[in-house]
Amino acid sequence: MRINRTFSIPVELVHALRKKHNQSETVTRALRKYLDKDEGIDITDATDDELIQELRLRFGLMDAKSELLNTIRAMI
């Protein structure tokens, strides 16, 4: 269900939003992203090493992709 609301936003946001195809969906996604940010861990909080380790676990340990990730890990 959807409800129409009226909010006051800066005029520069109005001009930027006007260029978007589906303005309501754009605002909905932005608000969800903003509100959900406080609830959990975001991928941007992870270190490079943690990201590489998680990717390695998704592949087999002796997989070529896993070995490539090992090489990248050693380089950083």
With residues binned 3-state (H G I as helix, E B as strand, rest as coil), the percentages for the chain, rounded to 5, are: 65, 0, 35
- For residues 48 and 24, give the distance between their C-alpha atoms in angstroms, rounded to a whole number: 35
10, two tokens: 């800066």
pLDDT of residue 32: 87
Cβ distance 36 to 42 under 8 Å? no
pLDDT score recorded for residue 8: 94
The mean pLDDT of 54-60, rounded to a whole number, is 83
pTM over 0.85: no
Per-residue pLDDT of 1-46, as tens digits, reads 889 999 999 999 999 999 988 999 999 988 888 888 656 666 777 8
23 vs 12: CA distance, rounded Å: 14
pLDDT at 6: 92
Domain limits of the chain?
A: 9-40, 43-75
What rounded mean pLDDT belongs to the chain?
85
